[in-house]
């Protein structure tokens, strides 16, 4: 059993293949966190908790005679506000008498033989290969009728434990939930580093590593999306942790809106780590019988460094978060018209692009922004989801059929959550936009945001998008979000419920996506928010691939895709070959290098194929052949980071499940006179199999390759790239 319950139903051991997570409800009903780490036998480890009389750390009423017992010092599963724990808490309540206190004590537990579902939000699901087991612990507030249910699912083979919270008001009086974080981890001993993934638009998910000290380390978003600036994932690790060594704990929030994540040492050197919905500008009113579900956190532990941790996240997200036809089906190689035409296109231009693309082996043409309403720039038209047939020179159905006649699929861009003030929709329904009465709103790209918490807004979008998808042969949708939320005010939830709008907004987005995918299950949906502004685990539930960044510069993409790989599978990374000089950076890189970098993702092109040379057209054919040849490696294989950012070359590797085939990519990022040799490490091979290397024809055992590595015979020039294969041979 993955979940073991002992000590009269008060000791809980959650066992994965390589880890143990232990909790114990003590004599006062406080749910203590006693252990998370390398797999153990599961004896009660309450003895590890050192209790002492600590000045200015008070005692709960049950233990007033025992001054060594203080909530301010104990490792807990559900630390709460206002009752003696002065550290960061998970939950805060506002009662009808104006008091703000929450003191939750153990009531009981339940076991269910499957994973749990979070109401209205994505969460890991069971598949044919593995079903989760779930523990539900009930905690009751000591002075009110508020109940918390803590959900823990164990995916044993995957070394994953999930955590979520439901808060229920079972009393007569209304209660306001002021804070509800999904997860708390208390580490009683040890020094830790915190790795977070930070950046900005076009520079997303750069790893940043800091030592956890008494000064709080905190990241988060207040943008209404998970954001380009901070990703809702982080790693707590021992200071000596590397790719292949050390204890590493991952936390990944399944949520696409405002979040917080923090780590801090307390006065006694204990480390507390929390993650969940950002409490800033958040409140949620609970009347009698109502409940609130907080999003899921995916926890995973590795005793062998960062690489193993990443593999565990890649596998769980690929197998238990991504869904639908394209979870494992081969994705088509696409051409997006955006950087080829921007807003300046018509049917003839698009057909010309499609003809050239089909000739080179590209499998889908995607029509980006500008096909609808009055939309010749980014100042108007959003919300008017009607094809501009005058601009196109045909209907979408006719255009789609022409593209299909070329043997290609057809895709379309949408930005459903946004509205332009210069639009028929805004003129008809100005109250549908998030806008505070009496204030001029912030604008980004001269657009506002639709109130996705409203049923009527979602119904309009569902009808319009369904009409388009139902009448034109559309195989793919790019779902974009091109500004952060601000000026939060909902006419539906005005007044004392306005603190619910951010959360209800993202629930509305999830609801619309779910309805559309139920109606059009064969659509390949690619998520996007100016590139990587909503690249999170929750969006993978709807879109198995996400546009990784608006920055398509191959050299910048090395760092962006490196940071993305710590949690997210390579199959989820939207990556394209674009024109040079690059439209974001002005850099010129070889066509072959751009292809090799984009090959580590869901592959495509973002340029005018009619403007490239004949040699480059031949390289397009070669790159597409390589994409198909290596697809099982890049989308289903095991991924290894071989070099950190800042080295003179960047290298990474894929190995297939049977360990018969490996592919390494190396990109030279800087040049120097009298260059030193380029030597790369090799990972993931079977020690006892023999492999032939494609660049030198040498045959060695996997043990030898992984021990000795590979030295290239020639040093590549700056920005040049090399693909290196290892294939199993029958005989040495």
pLDDT digits (tens, 9 = 90+) for 72-110: 999 999 999 999 999 999 999 999 999 999 999 999 999
Asked if residue 337 and residue 306 are part of one domain, the reply reads no
CB atoms within 10 A of CB 189: 9
Instruction: Cite the beta strand spans of 332-475 per DSSP E.
Output: 334-336, 364-367, 409-414, 418-420, 447-449
DSSP string for residues in 418-431? EEESSSHHHHH-GG
616 is catalytic: yes
Across 512-538, b (16+ Cβ under 10 Å) vs e yields bbebbbeebeebbbbbbbbbbbbbbbb
Asked if residue 328 and residue 315 are part of one domain, the reply reads no
Mark which of 533, 566, 588 sits at the end of a domain: 533
Residue 510 falls inside a structural domain: yes
Mark which of 265, 293, 320 sits at the end of a domain: 320
CATH number of the domain encompassing residue 65: 2.70.98.60
Asked if residue 80 and residue 62 are part of one domain, the reply reads yes
Asked if residue 200 and residue 148 are part of one domain, the reply reads yes
Most distant CA atoms of the chain, gap in Å: 86
User: Helix 455-471 crosses helix 501-519 at what angle (to 10 degrees)?
Assistant: 30
- Predicted local distance difference test score (pLDDT) of residue 731: 60
Q: What's the domain range around 168?
A: 3-320
Report how far residue 12's alpha carbon sits from residue 44's, in angstroms, rounded to the nearest whole number. 9
Asked if residue 21 and residue 99 are part of one domain, the reply reads yes
Report how far residue 616's alpha carbon sits from residue 322's, in angstroms, rounded to the nearest whole number. 34
From the list 295, 278, 653, the residue with the least C-alpha distance to 502 is 278
**What are the pLDDT digits (tens) for 379-436?**
999 999 999 999 999 999 999 999 999 999 999 999 999 999 999 999 999 999 999 9
Residue 454 token pair? 């409203």
- Look over the chain and give the mean of its residue pLDDT values, rounded to a whole number: 96
Asked if residue 325 and residue 315 are part of one domain, the reply reads no
405 is catalytic: no
Which of the following is catalytic: 141, 616, 653, 720?
A: 616
Asked if residue 252 and residue 390 are part of one domain, the reply reads no
Residue 354 falls inside a structural domain: yes
**Residues of the chain where predicted confidence (pLDDT) is lower than 70:** 731-732
Residue 168 falls inside a structural domain: yes
Give the rounded distance of the alpha carbon of 341 from its chain centre.
30
Asked if residue 227 and residue 237 are part of one domain, the reply reads yes
- Predicted local distance difference test score (pLDDT) of residue 730: 76
- Predicted local distance difference test score (pLDDT) of residue 732: 61
Tell me how many degrees the CA angle 231-275-160 measures, rounded to the nearest 5.
85
If phi > 0 it is left, if psi is from -120 to 50 it is alpha, else beta; for residue 611 that is alpha
Asked if residue 470 and residue 437 are part of one domain, the reply reads yes
Asked if residue 372 and residue 244 are part of one domain, the reply reads no
Q: Are 451 and 459 in contact (CB under 8 A)?
A: no
Residue 705 falls inside a structural domain: no
Residue 688 falls inside a structural domain: no
Number of structural domains found in the chain: 2
Report how far residue 7's alpha carbon sits from residue 103's, in angstroms, rounded to the nearest whole number. 23
Residue 623 falls inside a structural domain: no
Residue 378 falls inside a structural domain: yes
CATH number of the domain encompassing residue 405: 3.20.20.70
Mark which of 490, 506, 533 sits at the end of a domain: 533
Report how far residue 529's alpha carbon sits from residue 574's, in angstroms, rounded to the nearest whole number. 12
**What are the pLDDT digits (tens) for 561-584?**
999 999 999 999 999 999 999 999
Report how far residue 552's alpha carbon sits from residue 532's, in angstroms, rounded to the nearest whole number. 12
Asked if residue 295 and residue 373 are part of one domain, the reply reads no
Asked if residue 49 and residue 144 are part of one domain, the reply reads yes
pTM above 0.85, yes or no: yes
Which of the following is catalytic: 536, 550, 606, 653?
A: 536
Residue 434 token pair? 């998030």
Residue 650 falls inside a structural domain: no
């Amino acid at each position: 059993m993955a979940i073991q319950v002992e000590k009269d139903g008060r000791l809980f051991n959650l066992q994965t293949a390589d880890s143990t997570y232990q909790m114990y409800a003590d004599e006062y009903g406080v749910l203590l966190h006693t252990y998370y780490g390398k797999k153990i036998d599961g004896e009660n480890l309450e003895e590890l908790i050192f209790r002492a009389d600590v000045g200015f750390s008070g005692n709960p009423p049950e233990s007033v005679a025992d001054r060594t017992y203080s909530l301010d010092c104990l490792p807990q599963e559900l630390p709460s506000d206002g009752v003696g724990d002065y550290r960061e808490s998970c939950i805060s309540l506002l009662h009808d008498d104006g008091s703000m206190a929450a003191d939750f004590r153990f009531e009981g537990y339940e076991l269910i033989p499957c994973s749990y579902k979070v109401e209205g939000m994505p969460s890991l699901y069971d598949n044919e290969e593995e079903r989760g087991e779930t523990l539900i612990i009930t905690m009751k507030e000591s002075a009110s009728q508020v109940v918390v249910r803590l959900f823990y699912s164990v995916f044993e083979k995957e070394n994953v434990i999930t955590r979520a919270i439901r808060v229920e008001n079972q009393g007569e009086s209304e209660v306001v939930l002021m804070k509800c974080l999904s997860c708390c981890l208390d580490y009683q001993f040890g020094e830790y580093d915190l790795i977070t993934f930070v950046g900005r638009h076009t520079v997303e998910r750069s790893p940043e590593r800091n030592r956890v000290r008494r000064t709080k380390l905190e990241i988060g978003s207040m943008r209404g999306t998970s954001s380009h600036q901070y990703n809702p994932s982080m790693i707590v690790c021992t200071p000596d942790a590397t790719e292949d060594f050390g204890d590493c704990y991952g936390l990944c929030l399944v949520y696409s809106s405002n979040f917080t994540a923090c780590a801090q040492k307390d006065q006694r050197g204990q480390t507390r780590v929390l993650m969940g919905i950002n409490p800033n500008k958040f409140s949620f009113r609970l009347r009698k019988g109502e409940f609130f579900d907080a999003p899921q956190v995916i926890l995973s532990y590795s005793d062998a460094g960062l690489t193993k941790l990443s593999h565990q996240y890649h596998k769980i997200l690929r197998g238990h978060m991504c869904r639908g036809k394209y979870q494992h089906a081969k994705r088509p190689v696409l051409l997006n018209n955006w950087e080829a035409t921007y807003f300046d296109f018509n049917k003839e231009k698009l057909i010309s692009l499609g003809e050239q693309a089909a000739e080179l082996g590209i499998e889908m043409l995607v029509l980006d922004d500008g096909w609808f309403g009055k939309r010749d720039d980014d100042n108007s038209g959003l919300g008017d989801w009607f094809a501009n047939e005058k601009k196109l020179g045909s209907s979408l159905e006719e255009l789609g059929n022409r593209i299909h006649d070329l043997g290609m699929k057809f895709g379309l861009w949408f930005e459903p959550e946004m509205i332009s003030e210069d639009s028929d929709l805004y003129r008809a329904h100005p109250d549908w936009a998030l806008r505070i009465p009496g204030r001029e709103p912030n604008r980004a790209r001269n657009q506002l945001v639709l109130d996705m918490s409203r049923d009527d807004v979602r119904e309009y979008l569902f009808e319009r998008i369904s009409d388009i998808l139902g009448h034109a042969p559309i195989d793919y949708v790019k779902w974009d979000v091109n500004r952060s939320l601000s000026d939060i005010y909902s006419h539906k939830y005005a007044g004392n419920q306005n603190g619910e709008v951010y959360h209800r907004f993202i629930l509305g987005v999830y609801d619309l996506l779910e309805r559309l995918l139920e109606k059009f299950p064969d659509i390949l949906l690619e998520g996007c928010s100016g590139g990587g502004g909503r690249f999170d685990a929750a969006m993978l539930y709807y879109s198995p691939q996400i546009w990784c960044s608006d920055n398509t510069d191959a050299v910048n993409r090395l760092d962006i895709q490196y940071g993305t790989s710590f949690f997210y599978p390579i199959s989820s990374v939207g990556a394209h070959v674009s024109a040079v000089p690059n439209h974001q950076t002005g850099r010129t890189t070889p066509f072959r290098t751009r292809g090799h970098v984009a090959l580590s993702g869901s592959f495509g092109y973002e340029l005018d194929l009619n403007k490239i040379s004949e040699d480059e057209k031949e390289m397009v054919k070669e790159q597409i052949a390589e994409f198909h040849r290596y697809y099982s490696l890049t989308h289903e294989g095991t991924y290894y980071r071989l070099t950190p950012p800042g080295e003179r070359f960047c290298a990474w590797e894929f190995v297939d499940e049977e360990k018969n085939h490996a592919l390494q990519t190396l990109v030279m990022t800087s040049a120097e006179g009298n260059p030193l040799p380029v030597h790369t490490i090799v990972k993931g091979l079977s020690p006892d199999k023999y492999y032939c290397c494609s660049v030198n024809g040498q045959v060695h055992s996997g043990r030898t390759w992984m021990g000795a590595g590979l030295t290239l015979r020639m040093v590549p020039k700056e920005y040049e790239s090399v693909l290196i294969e290892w294939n199993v041979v029958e005989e040495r």
